[in-house]
């Protein structure tokens, strides 16, 4: 398997991305190769060790750099030799089987959609984040690819995220819920109500009905379907709330006893390890014709290494074949479909 990595995407690019690719060399299999995409000299300069010269690690030159002041989506259109554009192009041409980027999410989604295209029957791709919770991993789709959903998009997110939860996370018959603002069937906006009917109509999905914000972490579901606007708020709120809460606890502990604060530090570390999103590597962009892993902007070398593993697992489980088969067999379309 050949995995292309956007060396220029992310808050700590290119340094941490390049280091991540080097780290990943230790975990890939003999048949795998990594392609680091970005300005060749820059990549060579920032590598901390000679391991960058490895027969399994190729540098694909993409000399154009997207500045901080540029609109990433605009740059995608104009800069044909930017890393994102080159990476998705070579993947579409069959030179790579997967792409990984920690760069601007909107630009990455647009590049994948434009170059790699979508799976047959899929209307819109969805970013699929896994939340490590007390009761096991919860898969949320979409967390930001699509901010104005149609019912058919939400239905397809249910299909794709459920297959992902089952075949990548190993959850049997994942319980799927749709995010709304009350448990009763009558609750929710029009798109949610119509999407619910489409999901219900598919006997192969284990649909449990409406969810509320509290249900993401309560252990009642394995898959949460929502439009990208809501999913993005959920993702970012969760990350921030966890870190703020630890800060609050720390302040309170310090004002009580330094020893207590110190002992708690170790416990906190353990919790961070157990619920660490860096371990998941990144969020797959489900629905594109290929394997695409979108990483957090704050990704470190370790995150990139784990993203490589995530791409390998996604690819080997043939999630895309399962999605295509499910969507073609269920034949569920949008009643108001026009596009």
Chain residues that interact with its own copies, rule: CB under 8 A: 71, 106, 133-134, 144, 147-148, 179-182, 184, 186-190, 212-218, 228-230, 232-242, 244-245, 247-249, 251-253, 256-257, 260, 263-264, 266-268, 270-271, 275
31 vs 68, which CB is nearer to its own copies? 68
Nearest distance from C-beta of residue 137 to its own copies, angstroms: 14
Residue 50 vs 214, nearer CB to its own copies:
214
Burial class (CB in 10 A: 0-12, 13-18, 19+), 88: buried
Residue 36 or 75 having the CB closest to its own copies: 75
CB of 178 vs its own copies, minimal distance in Å: 12
Q: Least Å distance between CB 307 and its own copies?
A: 21
In the chain, alpha helices (H): 15-24, 40-46, 72-78, 83-92, 105-111, 151-167, 190-200, 228-256, 258-274, 301-316, 319-330
Cβ at position 32, least distance to its own copies in Å: 34
Instruction: Find, among 88, 155, 76, the residue nearest to 333 by Cα.
Output: 155
335 burial (CB, 10 Å; 0-12 / 13-18 / 19+) is exposed
Minimum Å gap between C-beta 240 and its own copies is: 4
| The token pair that represents 256 in the structure block | 């009580």
Of 12 and 264, nearer to its own copies (C-beta) is: 264
Shorter beta-carbon distance to its own copies: residue 272 or 337: 272
Residue 125 or 144 having the CB closest to its own copies: 144
Give least dist CB 67 to its own copies, A.
14
Write the burial class of residue 41 (CB in 10 Å: 0-12 exposed, 13-18 middle, 19+ buried): exposed
- Which CA distances in Å does 22 have to 10, 32, 79, 92, 310? 17, 13, 27, 24, 16
- The full DSSP string for 62-94 is --B---TTS-HHHHHHH-TTBHHHHHHHHHHTT
What span, in angstroms and rounded, lies between the C-alpha atoms of 150 and 127?
Answer: 16
Task: Give me the helix-helix angle, 301-316 and 15-24, nearest 10°.
Answer: 50
Backbone φ and ψ for 59, nearest 5 degrees, come out as: -105, 125
Min. distance of Cβ 184 from its own copies in angstroms?
8
């Amino acid at each position: 398997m050949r995995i292309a990595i956007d060396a220029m995407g992310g808050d700590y690019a290119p340094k941490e991305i390049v280091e991540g690719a080097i780290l990943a060399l230790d975990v890939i299999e003999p048949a795998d190769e990594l392609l680091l995409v970005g300005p060749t000299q820059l990549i060579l300069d920032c590598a901390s060790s000679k391991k960058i010269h490895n027969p399994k690690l190729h540098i694909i030159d993409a000399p154009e750099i997207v500045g901080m002041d540029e609109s990433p989506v605009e740059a995608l259109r104009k800069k044909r030799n930017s890393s994102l554009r080159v990476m998705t192009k070579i993947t579409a041409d069959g030179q790579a089987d997967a792409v990984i980027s920690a760069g601007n999410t909107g630009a990455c989604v647009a590049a994948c959609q434009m170059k790699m295209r979508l799976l047959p029957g899929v209307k819109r791709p969805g970013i699929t984040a896994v939340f490590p919770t007390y009761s096991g991993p919860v898969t949320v789709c979409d967390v930001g690819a699509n901010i104005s959903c149609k019912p058919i998009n939400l239905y397809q997110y249910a299909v794709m995220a459920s297959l992902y939860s089952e075949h990548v996370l190993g959850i049997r018959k994942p319980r799927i819920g749709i995010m709304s603002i009350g448990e009763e069937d009558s609750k929710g906006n029009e798109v949610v109500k119509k999407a619910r009917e489409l999901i219900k109509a598919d006997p192969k999905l284990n649909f449990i009905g409406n969810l509320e914000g509290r249900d993401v972490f309560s252990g009642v579901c394995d898959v949460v379907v929502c439009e990208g606007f809501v999913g993005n708020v959920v993702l970012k709120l969760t990350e921030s709330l966890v870190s703020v809460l630890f800060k609050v606890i720390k302040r309170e502990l310090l004002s009580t006893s330094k020893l207590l604060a110190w002992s708690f530090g170790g416990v906190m570390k353990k919790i961070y390890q157990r619920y660490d999103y860096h371990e998941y590597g990144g969020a797959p962009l489900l629905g594109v014709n290929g394997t695409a892993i979108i990483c957090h902007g704050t990704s470190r070398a370790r995150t990139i290494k784990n993203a490589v593993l995530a791409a390998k697992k996604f690819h080997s489980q043939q999630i895309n074949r399962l999605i295509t088969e499910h969507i073609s067999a269920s034949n569920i379309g949008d009643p108001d479909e026009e596009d």
